[in-house]
């Protein structure tokens, strides 16, 4: 069984992009951290990143039939994309929304999310550790007897 960890625009630059906000860890480090936890539960991780809304939607559609859960950091699309929300709403599996920074302590336009109210859980402001925590929770949920 596979968990999808999907990442939106500009997160390919994680580690070099505004490190005072997002830290120095890269998306590769995130993948390692999530895969390590998932392996404790006998699960696999597929981590993807795209700067394109449509590509993220295609991966969400793929997740519908091939994943047991989704962790998503939609990045800026969090605050703009009804299309990503609609795609996620078709997925009948646990869904966790992760933000590296505490979006609620930042600009007002980051306070609203199109995903939060359809998510199983939301993590913000825990740095990249948020992905690992979400992975642990998701794995616990999907392997619970």
The answer to the question of residue 99 lying near ligand DQA (CB under 6 A) is yes
The answer to the question of residue 128 lying near ligand DQA (CB under 6 A) is no
Give the residue with the Cβ less far from ligand DQA, 13 or 142.
13
Residue 99 beta carbon to ligand DQA: minimum distance, rounded to whole angstroms: 4
Window contacting ligand DQA (CB under 6 A); options: 40-48, 54-62, 88-96, 100-108: 100-108
DSSP string, the chain: -EEEEEE-TTGGGTTTS-HHHH-S--HHHHHHHHHHHHHHTT-EEEEEE-S-HHHHHHHHHHHHHH-SEEEEE-GGGGGT-HHHHHHHHT--S-EEEEESS-GGGS-GGGS--SSGGG-SEEEESSTTHHHHHHHHHHHHHHH--
The answer to the question of residue 113 lying near ligand DQA (CB under 6 A) is no
Annotated binding-site residue numbers for substrate: 73, 79, 86, 100-101, 110
């Amino acid at each position: 069984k596979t968990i999808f960890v999907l990442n939106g625009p500009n997160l390919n630059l994680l580690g070099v992009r505004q490190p005072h906000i997002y830290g120095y860890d890269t998306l590769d480090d995130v993948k390692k951290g999530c895969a390590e936890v998932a392996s404790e539960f006998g699960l696999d991780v597929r981590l993807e990143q795209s700067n394109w809304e449509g590509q993220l939607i295609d991966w969400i559609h793929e997740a519908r039939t091939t994943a047991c859960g989704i962790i998503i950091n939609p990045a800026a699309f969090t605050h703009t994309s009804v299309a990503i929300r609609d795609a996620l709403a078709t997925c009948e599996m646990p869904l966790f929304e992760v933000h590296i920074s505490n979006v609620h302590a930042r600009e007002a336009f980051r306070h609203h999310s199109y995903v939060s109210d359809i998510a199983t859980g939301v993590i913000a402001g825990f740095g990249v550790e948020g992905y690992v925590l979400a992975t642990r929770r998701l794995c616990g949920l999907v392997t619970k007897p």
